[in-house]
Copies of this chain bind each other. A is one copy, B any other.
C-alpha cells in the first residue's frame, strides 16, 4: 500500500503505532498529480501540508523580471509546505509544481490541528519535520554566501545524487543561483580535471 510510505516516514522521528496510523490515515487525502501540474500558485493560500509518496516537485519563487528561482526540490519521502501561507492564511509567494507524475498525501490545517490536540506525538513529529527543513535551509545559506558556483554544484551532487539524473540542468542551475550557460561551463571544466 502506498500509504505505508507515509507511515514509515514517521519511523525517522517517533514511529506511529497502529491506532495513530489509523488516525492519520483518516485525515489525509491521497492525490495523483500530473507532470507540470501546480499544487500551489502565487497568491493562493496554502491549505495543506504535502507529503510526496512518489514523483518529484519543485517549489519556486518568481522575481520582478519574471525569472523563476527554485527554493526546494521534494521527492519521495519529503515534506512540502509554504509555512507562512499555511499558518497565517496569507497569499503564497511561491509556486509548487510537479516535475514528474506524482502521488501525494495532503493534510489540511483543521485536520493537522486535530491530530496535534489529540496526541502530542504529532506535535513533536511535525516540529522535527520543520526543524529538518530549517537545517537544510541554513546549510544552503552558508553555501550561497560562502561558495563559488563550482563548489555549490559539487555540494549539490553530493547531497542529492538521486535527483541529479532526474532533473534538467536548467532546474539545477536555478536552484544553485547561476545561469544554465554557466552551469554548462562548470560541468565541462570539472570533466577536464
Pick the most buried of A117, A128, A130, A176: most chain B CB atoms within 10 A of its CB: A130
- Binary per-residue interface labels of chain A (142-155) against chain B in the complex, 1 for a CB within 8 Å, 0 otherwise: 10111100000000
A62 CA to B61 CA, complexed, in Å:
29
Q: A116: CB under 8 A from chain B?
A: yes
A127 CA to B125 CA, complexed, in Å:
10
- Binary per-residue interface labels of chain A (61-73) against chain B in the complex, 1 for a CB within 8 Å, 0 otherwise: 1010001010100
Contact A84 B145 (CB under 8 A): no
- Give the shortest distance, in Å, between A130 (CB) and chain B (any CB): 5
Q: A124: CB under 8 A from chain B?
A: yes
Contact B176 A131 (CB under 8 A): no
The interface of chain A, by Cβ under 8 A from chain B, is: 61, 63, 67, 69, 71, 83-84, 87, 116-117, 120, 123-124, 126-128, 130-131, 133-135, 137-138, 140-142, 144-147, 175-177
Which of B71, B127, B138 interacts with A127 by CB under 8 Å?
B127
Contact B87 A146 (CB under 8 A): no
Q: A123-B120, A130-B127, A130-B130 are in contact. Are A71 and B137 (CB under 8 A)?
A: no
Count copies of this chain in the complex: 2
Q: A140-B141, A141-B141 are in contact. Are A146 and B83 (CB under 8 A)?
A: no
Question: Using Cβ atoms and an 8 Å threshold, which residues of chain B touch A147?
Answer: 63
Question: Using Cβ atoms and an 8 Å threshold, which residues of chain B touch A126?
Answer: 127
Say what secondary structure dominates the interface of chain A: helix
Question: Using Cβ atoms and an 8 Å threshold, which residues of chain B touch A141?
Answer: 71, 137, 140-141, 144
Contact B61 A177 (CB under 8 A): no
User: What are 23 A-B pairs at a CB distance below 8 A?
Assistant: A61-B142, A63-B146, A69-B142, A69-B145, A69-B146, A71-B142, A83-B131, A83-B135, A84-B135, A117-B120, A120-B120, A120-B123, A123-B124, A126-B127, A130-B131, A130-B134, A137-B137, A137-B138, A137-B141, A144-B177, A145-B175, A145-B176, A146-B177
